[in-house]
Amino acid sequence: MGRATVARTAILMLVAAIGVILFLNMTNVTMMTWFVLVLGSLATFRLSHLVTKERGPFALFERFRNAMPGGRGSLKEWVTCIWCFSLSTSAMICLLLWLGGYALAWEFWVLHWLAFSSMSLLVHKACG
């Protein structure tokens, strides 16, 4: 593992630690909203990066990407583009939050869906 990778991992761990500290010291609903926003964005980034860029255990994700039919507008293009796939991943994270009982008005679900995706892309750009 190179120095840059270690530095990026350390930054992500620091952000997660700050999120946990904020969660443990939470005194109102606003702090919980920020906590969900940070964790949802990090989860979106991790899952999107895992599927679109990494080999995975036993090269599972690499084989999955290579098995997709290619071409413009194809499934392969969707699965290899983190910008495209993060929208689907953030929708899945929102669905999991909803199934877990996290209650929001539909307008806020749309905002969370887009925010998870865009914040995960900011993390992607910051980590190279």
Q: Tens of pLDDT along 30-56? A: 666 788 888 999 999 999 999 999 998
Longest dimension (CA), the chain: 51
| Sequence ranges of the domains in the chain | 3-127
The structure's pTM equals 0.74
- Residue (of 103, 106, 127) closest to 41 by Cα position: 127
Of 3-7, 68-72, 76-80, 108-112, give the lowest mean pLDDT range: 3-7
| Cα three-residue angle 96-44-102, rounded to 5 degrees | 30
